């Protein structure tokens, strides 16, 4: 009758609680949207004038990709506003008119349009070549995408720099909820154990007063809990390892979300400029456009005038190239979206790395020559900089500046002179 083993009970309870909490955990972090399925069918009621017909939605996506994608996304502000729920902000006829003749609507004094213009400081181009039905198709696609919700948390985390990436906040909220759930369950576990211990103590006190216990029962009664056995048991080791892995995983996920590491960030640009075509296929030297890499801190993004060196003759009738002409006519810089972005507190100098150290662009930026759209390949964290400074030898060849240093270093050390040896780990070198 007393044959229950305290240790197996303990193991069972711990197991149940953590199995439960980690399932929750996995569900929540698998998709940062708290359950918005990837391909939720469009079942919500449609706004008047918009369609839920899949063929129209597909047509809308095609038109959007061809005419709007360079400036708009559904869940993210790019050059223009995020279009999610735009059909709730304005009526469909208003939107059709605005998309066709934005400048005319703004100049007519329409308060909403004027406010938009004040915020974005630019006119979007006229789209009077689109038919009303085609604009409705685009908006139908926007509606379908709005209902689907933003893409997964990893994408949003990668784009963490953008002020309005809804999925990221969502994911953070989810991890907060998760911590609360885990804390609650742990509390429950402790209470359960305390109650069990109390019950066991009372029970054995009571039983010890009985005189008619069998030999076998007495033995169990006087048995002490075998802690050493519990700690060595496979179940205990398994659970501990499991909890440890789960916690590390959680910390990593949270870390990635909050630090704002932007590895993989590849924003859509106002002009779909291809490095694969220009730097890859046509082998134009990086320095032809990024004129600063050997001269100073910043690599520089070329102005439209540099494009014109070729494009006043090449592909002049292409609608994309026409857009570059429009920028020049309006005397407005092309508003490229920055891909790489160190925080203000850190100082990075291209000349030092490219000219002095002779490091190839590819070491830090990846294979740009293969990229249609530039993507941040390296982490750009402090650890990333330091790691390379620990490993890389100073390029002292043909550099009189280093002659003395190299001699000094050779006296005190047999290993080659690395960046750390010339002060590459000093805080003030990288921090203002
Ligand atoms: C060259 C960039 C550019 C292109 C291309 C572009 N837009 Fe825009 N769009 C903007 C800007 C900028 C605004 C903000 C209003 C303004 O300042 O004119 C805007 C505003 C809008 C708005 C109003 C958004 C709101 O929050 O009320 C809608 C709707 C819209 N655009 C739809 C479209 C559609 C549909 C297309 C493609 C057919 C398109 N845009 C193409 C730049 C662009
Ligand atoms: C014909 C001009 C041209 C050439 C040649 C060129 N680039 Fe660019 N590069 C651009 C323009 C324009 C942008 C901004 C648009 C973009 O990000 O795609 C840019 C952006 C970049 C960025 C991202 C900048 C940011 O916002 O953080 C990197 C990195 C880069 N280029 C590296 C290279 C490398 C490496 C090469 C040589 C293999 C190269 N580029 C050749 C024009 C050029
Ligand atoms: C050294 C010459 C050169 C420079 C500078 C140059 N391009 Fe190009 N660009 C080309 C060539 C060559 C093509 C390919 C033409 C073809 O496909 O027939 C091209 C194609 C393009 C295309 C594709 C057009 C289309 O409709 O397919 C775009 C967009 C483009 N360039 C943008 C730019 C931008 C933006 C800049 C400035 C940052 C720039 N280019 C600078 C030579 C150049
Ligand atoms: C040692 C690593 C490293 C090397 C090598 C390197 N870059 Fe960069 N690059 C960076 C970092 C870090 C940033 C972000 C700088 C910032 O935000 O202040 C950056 C930013 C850029 C930018 C964005 C504009 C700017 O100046 O901030 C361009 C364009 C660029 N690099 C082009 C190049 C080209 C072209 C080469 C090769 C000639 C090159 N880089 C070599 C690390 C490197
Ligand atoms: C691919 C390797 C590599 C990476 C990545 C790298 N560096 Fe460097 N860095 C070097 C080398 C090599 C030198 C030595 C240049 C010289 O000879 O002066 C250097 C020198 C420096 C110096 C000057 C140090 C001194 O004592 O004069 C600073 C500052 C610096 N790097 C900052 C950064 C920052 C900030 C980052 C990260 C955003 C970074 N580096 C990433 C290789 C790297
Ligand atoms: C080789 C360059 C380099 C050196 C040396 C360096 N840092 Fe940094 N540090 C960076 C860069 C780059 C960042 C920005 C990283 C990011 O945004 O994730 C940074 C970020 C930081 C931050 C902000 C962390 C955060 O999460 O935003 C602190 C604090 C900091 N560094 C302190 C130091 C101290 C203290 C030292 C000296 C012991 C030091 N750093 C040496 C490059 C360096």
User: How far is residue 258's CA from residue 153's CA, in Å, rounded to a whole number?
Assistant: 12
pLDDT of residue 228: 79
Domains of the chain: 6-32+167-259 (no CATH), 54-148 (1.10.760.10), 381-432 (no CATH)
**For 130, what's the count of Cα atoms within 13 Å in the CB-facing half-sphere?**
26
61 CB near ligand 1 (under 6 Å): no
pLDDT of residue 157: 37
347, 384 Cβ separation under 8 angstroms: no
pLDDT of residue 406: 82
User: Taking Cα atoms as reference points, which of 309, 312, 310 lies closest to residue 322?
Assistant: 312
pLDDT of residue 214: 78
pLDDT of residue 174: 52
Helix H or strand E segment including 7: helix 6-30
pLDDT of residue 340: 92
List Cβ neighbours of 402 (8 Å cut-off, separation of 6 or more): 394, 396, 417
Ligand 4 centroid – CA 17 distance (Å): 49
Q: Which ligand is nearest to the CA of 286?
A: 2
284 CB near ligand 2 (under 6 Å): yes
Closest Cα to atom 30 of ligand 4: 299
pLDDT of residue 386: 92
343 CB near ligand 6 (under 6 Å): yes
Q: If the chain, 432 residues long, is cut into consecutive pieces of 10 residues, what is the mean pLDDT of each piece?
A: 50 53 42 36 66 93 84 79 91 94 89 88 81 94 90 42 36 61 92 92 83 76 75 88 89 61 80 94 92 90 92 90 93 92 92 91 88 88 90 82 81 85 90 86
306 CB near ligand 3 (under 6 Å): yes
315 CB near ligand 3 (under 6 Å): yes
Distances, alpha carbon 27 to alpha carbons 4, 30, 45, 175, 260, in Å: 35, 5, 28, 11, 23
User: How far is residue 258's CA from residue 303's CA, in Å, rounded to a whole number?
Assistant: 34
376, 264 Cβ separation under 8 angstroms: yes
CA dihedral over 416, 422, 424, 426, signed as positive or negative: positive
């Amino acid at each position: 009758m007393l044959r229950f083993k305290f240790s197996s009970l303990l193991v069972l309870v711990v197991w149940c609680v953590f199995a439960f909490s980690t399932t929750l955990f996995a569900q929540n972090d698998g998709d940062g949207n708290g359950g918005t399925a990837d391909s939720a069918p469009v079942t919500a009621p449609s706004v008047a004038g918009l369609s839920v017909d899949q063929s129209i939605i597909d047509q809308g996506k095609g038109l959007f990709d061809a005419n709007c994608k360079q400036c708009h996304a559904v869940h993210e502000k790019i050059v223009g506003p995020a279009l999610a729920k735009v059909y709730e902000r304005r009526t469909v006829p208003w939107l059709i008119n605005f998309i066709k003749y934005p400048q005319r609507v703004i100049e007519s004094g329409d308060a909403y349009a004027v406010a938009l213009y004040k915020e974005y400081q630019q006119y979007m181009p006229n789209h009077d070549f689109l038919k009303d039905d085609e604009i409705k198709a685009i908006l139908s696609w926007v509606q379908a995408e709005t209902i689907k919700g933003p893409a997964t948390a990893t994408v949003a985390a990668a784009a963490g720099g953008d002020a309005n990436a809804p999925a990221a906040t969502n994911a953070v909220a989810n991890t907060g909820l998760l911590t609360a759930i885990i804390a609650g369950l742990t509390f429950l576990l402790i209470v359960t154990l305390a109650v069990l211990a109390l019950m066991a103590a009372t029970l054995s006190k009571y039983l010890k007063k009985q005189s008619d216990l069998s030999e076998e029962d007495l033995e169990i009664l006087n048995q002490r809990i075998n802690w050493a056995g519990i700690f060595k048991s496979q179940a205990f080791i398994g659970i501990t390892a499991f909890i440890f892995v789960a916690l590390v995983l959680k910390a990593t996920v949270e870390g990635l979300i909050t630090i704002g590491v932007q590895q993989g960030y590849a924003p859509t640009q106002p002009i779909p400029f291809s490095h694969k075509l220009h730097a890859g296929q046509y082998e134009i030297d990086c320095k032809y456009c990024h004129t600063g890499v050997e001269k100073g801190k910043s690599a520089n993004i070329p102005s439209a005038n540099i494009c014109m060196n070729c494009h006043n003759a090449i592909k002049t009738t292409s609608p994309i190239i026409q857009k570059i002409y429009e920028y020049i006519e309006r005397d407005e810089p092309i508003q490229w979206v920055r891909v790489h972005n160190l925080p203000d507190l850190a100082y990075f100098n291209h000349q030092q790395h490219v000219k002095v150290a002779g490091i190839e662009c590819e070491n830090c930026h990846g294979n740009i020559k293969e990229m249609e759209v530039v993507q941040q390949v390296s982490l750009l964290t402090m650890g990333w900089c330091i790691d390379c400074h620990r490993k890389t030898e100073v390029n002292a060849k043909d550099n009189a500046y280093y002659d003395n240093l190299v001699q000094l270093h050779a006296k005190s050390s047999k290993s080659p002179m690395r960046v750390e040896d010339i002060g590459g780990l000093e805080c003030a070198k990288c921090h203002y």
